[in-house]
Amino acid sequence: MRRYVGILVVLAMATALVLVSLACQAKPAAEEAPEAAEVAKEPVKITYWHFEPREKAGKDVLIQVIDQFNAQNPDIQVELVMIPKDDFNVKLLTAVAAGAGPDASIIDQPLVATYASQGALLSLENYVSQEERDEFVPGALETNYYKGQLYGLPLNFVCVALYYNKTLVPDPPETWDEFLAIAKEVADPDKNIAAIQIPGGGYGAWIWPAFVAAAGGTMLNEDQTKATFNDEAGQAALQLWVDLIKLSPKHIREAADAFPAGHLAFLVSGPWEYEGWRVNYPDFKDYGITLIPKKVKYATNIGGQNLVVYSSSKYPDQAVKLLKFLTSDEIQAMPNFVFEGNPSKKALKDLYKDDPDHQAFSEQLQYATPRPTVVNWIKINDEVIATAIDRAFAGEPVKQVLDEAAEQANAILATEP
């Protein structure tokens, strides 16, 4: 009996020692649990790069928007980095090449294809539903596609429309025939009046696709491997420009502030014109803004900025959530947030209805046609199409210069990645 009791005592003591040992081992785990919970609650940190707004109001609202996102999403912490636009592209290219780029950023439209071709961008095909895509103005959304894949969301976009001098042109044209007829009627070099100012060079080459589209044409074929801007529509568009330029002596059309001075009947340009006049010519009101006249349909060009997520991001879900927030109707409608042009959402078409000038561009933007989304399009625009336009303005045959330009463009397109 004593032996049995002794054995029980020994077993009890051993059990106690085991329990004490287990308790000691369990205690650090219990102490670590709160720390683990705290780690789990740490917000995911992502960086977002944006052009630095020139005006303080723009900077303030951008900071406010990011703060609002962070407040609404406590599990995500966005670090905003503002970089002057003139320095932005070089810094972005350098950072991405070094693997030190942001999680997301604003980006100029033509660069979507460039970065997507290098595998630097996250495809949004599985992140953005068709219903969400349908909320954007089609022309703006299409600037984010590369080889059939969606790589970004449009933030804001701009286009050109037709300005007209109300004294010279009481009723603006709707068709090309009316456009040319009015131009012939009002142009009078002896009175220092020219029909129009249409720029040459790369800027003119950016505008010209609006007229190609208005004639029912395209710049490239459907798979963007061959030039089509030399077909009948392209020839008609360039011939219209040549005919209008013949009615517009260079010394008149290129004089400083020729339009507000009353020396031009028409001007094809963007919203920056009236914005400048409001500052420099506050009493100048004798103008209207209307849709670019059509041959087959209404059309215009497009420029602006998109938002993208980089494939190197460790937190793509959170970065995409930021993009959707920044392109939401609520945020895009905030004063001073869309710093250039118009918001990209269909629902905001009448956002500027109290400002007829701005609203005119909002109307025109509904007919925007995106530039081709190929890597070398800027090269084709600036070096090939711009040269063709300048040659045609100098008197060379339209068909010849466009056919030669198409050959040059096709050679460049053959080098696409």
In this prediction, residue 339 has a pLDDT band, given cuts at 50, 70 and 90, of: low
* Per-range mean pLDDT, top range of 22-31, 38-47, 225-234: 225-234
Res. 20: pLDDT tops 60? no
Tell me which residue has tokens 């710049």. 219
Percent of the chain at pLDDT > 70 equals 90
Q: Residue 265 — left, alpha, or beta (φ > 0 → left; ψ -120 to 50 → alpha)?
A: alpha
Burial class (CB in 10 A: 0-12, 13-18, 19+), 53: buried
Q: Quick one: pLDDT at residue 278?
A: 95
d(CA 45, CA 92): 19
d(CA 224, CA 230): 14
Q: What is the mean pLDDT of residues 252-264?
A: 95
Question: The tokens of 165 are what?
Answer: 């001098």
> Which of 29-43, 90-104, 226-240 bottoms out in mean pLDDT, i.e. has the lowest?
29-43
Percent of the chain at pLDDT > 90 equals 86
Beta bridge partners of 310: 121
Q: What is the mean pLDDT of residues 328-357?
A: 89
Q: Quick one: pLDDT at residue 40?
A: 54
Each residue of 367-411: pLDDT tens digit?
A: 999 999 999 999 999 999 999 999 999 999 999 999 999 999 999
Q: Quick one: pLDDT at residue 36?
A: 44
3-state secondary structure of 107: strand
**Positive or negative torsion for Cα 222, 120, 375, 109:** positive
Res. 103: pLDDT tops 70? yes
d(CA 108, CA 217): 25
* CA distances to 125, 212, 229, 395 from 403, in Å: 37, 15, 9, 15
3-state secondary structure of 104: strand
In this prediction, residue 17 has a pLDDT band, given cuts at 50, 70 and 90, of: very low
What stretch of H or E contains 365?
Answer: helix 356-365
Each residue of 192-251: pLDDT tens digit?
A: 999 999 998 999 999 999 999 999 999 999 999 999 999 999 999 999 999 999 999 999
d(CA 223, CA 221): 6
d(CA 195, CA 179): 10
Each residue of 66-90: pLDDT tens digit?
A: 999 999 999 999 999 999 999 999 9
Q: Quick one: pLDDT at residue 337?
A: 81
Q: What is the mean pLDDT of residues 87-96?
A: 97
Average pLDDT, the chain: 90
Domains and CATH numbers, the chain: 44-158+303-362 (3.40.190.10), 161-301+376-413 (3.40.190.10)
Res. 160: pLDDT tops 90? yes
In this prediction, residue 21 has a pLDDT band, given cuts at 50, 70 and 90, of: very low
Q: Quick one: pLDDT at residue 10?
A: 34
Q: Quick one: pLDDT at residue 161?
A: 98
Say which amino acid occupies 272.
Answer: W
> Which of 88-92, 135-139, 325-329, 338-342 bottoms out in mean pLDDT, i.e. has the lowest?
338-342
Report the first-to-last Cα separation within the chain, whole angstroms.
92
* CA distances to 107, 111, 122 from 312, in Å: 16, 17, 8
Q: Quick one: pLDDT at residue 336?
A: 77
Res. 257: pLDDT tops 60? yes
Upper half-sphere CA count for residue 252 (Cβ side, 13 Å):
21
Q: Quick one: pLDDT at residue 3?
A: 34
Tell me which residue has tokens 């400083």. 256
Question: The tokens of 367 are what?
Answer: 């007919």
Contact 298, 367 (CB under 8 A): yes
In this prediction, residue 27 has a pLDDT band, given cuts at 50, 70 and 90, of: very low
In this prediction, residue 335 has a pLDDT band, given cuts at 50, 70 and 90, of: confident
Nearest CA to 232 out of 214, 217, 213, 211 is that of 217
Contact 168, 261 (CB under 8 A): no
